[in-house]
Amino acid sequence: MPKLYEYFGLVILFYSGEHEPLHVHGQSKDRESRAEIIVLNGVITEIRYGKIAEHPLNNKEMRLFKKLITARANDIVSKWTDFFALHKPITPERITRRLK
């Protein structure tokens, strides 16, 4: 389960046995939501958010999740390719400043 980011209590990760479409999970305590990043012809065209657990991220966590995914979408696509296609390890990043 490669962790990509830690951001103010929120953990963004892939599950190692994942499947397409390209997506990440956001977890905080016992809550979890998901973001699908839609890529067409090498360009991110859409990001879709949804819950995957009985207990999705709360409103504050979801705002942080959306902000992070929007800001780092290209990096996430690159990490997905590195991990799932090229079998490279992922080094997690702790983000300690608020994203704008």
pLDDT in the model for residue 16: 78
Query: Which runs of consecutive H residues, i.e. helices, occur in 13-58?
Result: none
- Which residues constitute the domain of residue 10? 3-89
Mean residue pLDDT across the chain: 93
Number of domains the chain contains: 1
Query: Given strand 43-51, what is the order of strands in its sheet?
Result: 43-51, 31-40, 23-28, 10-13, 3-7, 93-95
Q: Report yes or no on 77 lying in a domain.
A: yes
Q: Which tens digit of pLDDT belongs to each residue from 41-86?
A: 989 999 999 988 789 999 999 999 999 999 999 999 999 999 998 9
How many C-beta atoms lie closer than 10 Å to residue 34's C-beta? 18
Q: Report yes or no on 100 lying in a domain.
A: no
Q: Which residues make Cβ contacts (< 8 Å) with residue 14, sequence separation at least 6?
A: 1, 2, 4, 24, 25, 79, 80, 83, 84, 90
Average of per-residue pLDDT across 7-23: 88
pLDDT in the model for residue 51: 85
Of residues 21 and 69, the one with the higher pLDDT is 69
Q: Report yes or no on 97 lying in a domain.
A: no
Q: Residue 15: pLDDT band by 50, 70, 90 thresholds?
A: confident
